[in-house]
Homo-oligomer: A and B are copies of this chain.
């Protein structure tokens, strides 16, 4: 395809036209105050007339600095991430940074590939809910600044949405309602959020002298949540805390198809608060603060890029429980089979 106007004007063409050296043109843009005002003006005028725009690729090669960052997530379609991505993108845009987006499809190798692919044209990374091993993350960090979201690795900058408090509150709330046996529908094994939440459930139930059933879901998806309804039914749990809202949503549907109503027969609590308000019945859920996490992560990353040093930041975002309509007193389970 022939593109109109041929190739873009270069710095040398502007220089020639303006009767100065290429270096002067360069400086007119990057360090105007190093030049006499008239020169700057003259150069700018010529540049504007020629439609000159600095070639970021050339500059990147020359300086090793590119105004690009990349953000990698396990699954764009998981509703937790879009708000995070949007906030991150908006924050990056404020500083004139462009952002690459990578979807690892919940797959560590794919994530690795994406990072390597982006690296040469990327100043730094935001890795959200990374599925990579600590080793691999550290290895990448040795080459490029990285800010982690929901992954807690010492000495790496990270922003963590800590579900503990919210989960505690949820367990207490359930206990107050009279529940004695609850289930945790667990998320991906490699997920820090999941580990954190699971541990919090375990501790809180122990403290409350409640019985806990842990049910592993295949993935953090609606479908997996729906499938988890089966295993849940074969326990005697009267309430469930799901890894996230998506799983909770699936779970509720799965329960419904088994004739179990929420909250009448089983209470359900979600996490991330991302679908909760829009569901019917509205889901009692633990706050997510995804936008904040995205914004803060980019904040930190940009600051690192500027200062050229990595500080051991561990930014923790606290969570709380929002009560809605999917929890109530333990109901009667018509079809519950007693556990062994």
Contact = CB atoms under 8 A, between A and B. Distances in A.
Interface residues on A, range: 35 or more
A56 B60 CA distance: 11
A44 to B, nearest CB: 16
Contact of A249 (B90, B96, B120, B278): B278
A324 interface: no
B55 A58 contact: no
Nearest to A143: B3
A270 B120 CA distance: 44
A323 interface: no
A278 B79 CA distance: 13
B310 A1 contact: yes
Contact of A98 (B56, B86, B117, B304): B117
A152 interface: no
A82 interface: yes
A18 interface: no
B144 A3 contact: yes
A298 interface: no
A222 interface: yes
A280 B278 contact: no
A57 B101 contact: no
A120 B57 contact: yes
A94 to B, nearest CB: 12
A57 B5 contact: no
* Residue of A77, A144, A145 most packed against chain B (CB within 10 A): A77
A142 B304 contact: no
A280 B116 CA distance: 42
A47 interface: no
A1 B89 contact: no
Interface in A23-75: 53-58, 60-61, 64, 66, 68, 75
A309 B121 contact: no
Contact of A57 (B61, B143, B250): B61
Contacts of A307: 1
Given A120-B57, A143-B5, A308-B1, A101 B101 contact: yes
26 contacts: A1-B145, A1-B307, A1-B308, A3-B142, A3-B144, A5-B142, A8-B120, A8-B143, A53-B116, A57-B57, A57-B60, A57-B120, A57-B121, A61-B61, A76-B82, A76-B86, A77-B82, A79-B82, A98-B118, A99-B100, A100-B100, A121-B121, A249-B278, A252-B280, A279-B279, A280-B280
Contacts of A3: 142-144
Task: List 6 tightest A-B contacts by C-beta distance, closest first.
Answer: A101-B101, A4-B142, A77-B82, A76-B82, A76-B86, A1-B308
A212 to B, nearest CB: 28
Given A56-B121, A76-B85, A222-B278, 14 more contacts: A1-B145, A1-B307, A1-B309, A4-B143, A5-B142, A8-B120, A54-B120, A56-B120, A57-B57, A57-B61, A89-B103, A98-B118, A253-B278, A280-B281
